[in-house]
Amino acid sequence: MTSLRIQDRALLTATELALIESSAPSRIRAYTFAQLNNRIVRVRRFWDKYRELARQQQRTTKTSRQQGRLQPALNVRTERKAQVFAGALDRFEKRLEQLTREARRRPRPPATPVPKSLRGPIAQRDTVRRKTQQGRASNEAAQAPRITRQFQKSKMRAIQGHLSARGKRRQATRDAR
């Protein structure tokens, strides 16, 4: 698509025109994977809308022709809109396919080598495990006062007390039966 025809520009609303123009080869190269997916969804929605509308109009003109009245093809503009959106959808999908192929071709960065202290016998793993557990224990001890303060500030204690008492009362009424 080098440019939209003047007749096609007259068919489209401002948002539709902006979306179609964004599928131009010069602009489409700048889009990321997520932006392309977003535009594909939007274009497909418009394409489905106008394709279905053209079918519906075609059915109504067929029935009116059968009744003896001749009407000109009312849905030519709608069909043209559907074709314009189909072209834009095709361009977006081709670019998305290109991006996925390029992403597959790119070499992955080499994996970071595992240090020797983590390789080998179980004894070395146990020392690493102990060190990490010691770090967690000190971290948990440091977080405990903060968690209790949050617990008290958020009135969770009162809420839990209320729920507990309510549960006990209900159990008592069940037991009394």
The structural domains of the chain, with segments of one domain joined by +, span 6-105, 118-176
Q: What is the C-alpha separation between 133 and 135, in angstroms, rounded?
A: 5
Of 26-40, 124-138, 160-174, which gets the smallest average pLDDT?
Answer: 124-138
Residue 131 has pLDDT above 90, yes or no: no
Residue 129 has pLDDT above 50, yes or no: yes
Q: Could you tell me the CA-to-CA distances from 125 to 101, 112, 133 in Å, in that order?
A: 41, 18, 12
Region 44-52: mean pLDDT is: 95
Region 73-98: mean pLDDT is: 91
Q: What is the C-alpha separation between 43 and 126, in angstroms, rounded?
A: 57
pLDDT value of residue 156: 73
Residue 60 has pLDDT above 70, yes or no: yes
Token code pair at residue 73: 């093809």
Which residues, 6+ apart, have CB-to-CB distance to 86 below 8 Å? 47, 51
Region 80-97: mean pLDDT is: 94
Region 107-129: mean pLDDT is: 65
